[in-house]
Amino acid sequence: MNRTLLSHITAEWLKCRRSHIAWLTLLVAGLLPILHFVGMEEHPETFIPMMKRGPWDLLFMMNLDTASMAMIPVYCLLLFAFLAAIETRHHAWKQLYSLPRSYTDIYLSKFVVAQYYLFIYFLLFIVFVVAEGLVLHAVIPAYPLYVQNIPWEIMLVRCGRVYIGTLALCALQYWLSMHFRNYMIPVMIGLAVLAAGSVVRLLGLAPYDPYVYPRILFAVGIPTRHFYYPTATAFIIALCGVALLLPGGCMLHARRGRKV
């Protein structure tokens, strides 16, 4: 990574610090574990028998299952909408393009900053799930969620897989957010495609829909789950998706920037 790109990444990160992205990340990371806690606290008779073996693993997988299906894609939609809106809100696109910066640097610097916030999201998600389990055990001791049994390594590995699955989604949603000046348009497009995920799976088109890639990577090693593919196939689908969409979006952005 050259110094110019690194300085641009730093500049973008400083701009984001003055936005509400950090609060968005905290809110979305904590929302699902809190809702899940409420459900498990109100219905212990349903969940306690399920936790006789691997209670932490079960708790984490239930949270990550829902997150990979909905919360993580929705967070990506909102994250890139916020990133693009920083320039749009201040009418700063022409000023940005007039700076001695390549279009590639402009495009990649914002994308890298988005990955930083996505990384923070996953760390916060793990923290909130662990907090959910500990508080649940404190409130209802019958839940066998003991602090010494927390599988930190397994949690990190599984979040890492799902993160790889989000990269192609990020690349596509980022280009949409940079292409449309009205930030609601890419958000609505993303939500519509996300809602069509079940239909996409039934038609056998999941490898062509980046919005279900987090689900595909979540299902690695779980043949009973929807969107299951063999491990190598799942990773190839996700990595090929980002390898095509990120450079493609960058070239289209550069072409658009020259016309501004």
pLDDT in tens, 56-90: 999 999 999 999 999 999 999 999 998 888 776 66
Please check whether residue 244 is in contact with residue 229, taking contact to mean a CB–CB distance below 8 angstroms: no
Rounded Cα–Cα distance for residues 119 and 126 (Å): 11
Q: How far apart are CA 206 and CA 53, in angstroms?
A: 32
* pLDDT tens, position by position, 138-180: 999 999 999 888 999 999 999 999 999 999 999 999 999 888 8
Tokens representing 12 are: 């973008």
Which residues, 6 or more positions from 202, have their beta carbon under 8 angstroms from its beta carbon?
none
CA angle 29, 201, 184 (to 5 degrees): 50
Per-residue pLDDT, 140? 93
pLDDT 10s digits, 203-250: 888 889 999 999 999 988 887 677 778 888 989 999 999 999 988 888
pTM, full prediction: 0.90
Query: Which segments of the chain does DSSP mark as H helices, in order?
Result: 3-17, 21-42, 44-47, 55-66, 72-89, 93-98, 103-139, 152-179, 184-195, 197-202, 213-218, 231-259
User: What mean pLDDT, rounded, does the chain reach?
Assistant: 87
Non-local (6+) Cβ contacts of 184 within 8 A are: 81
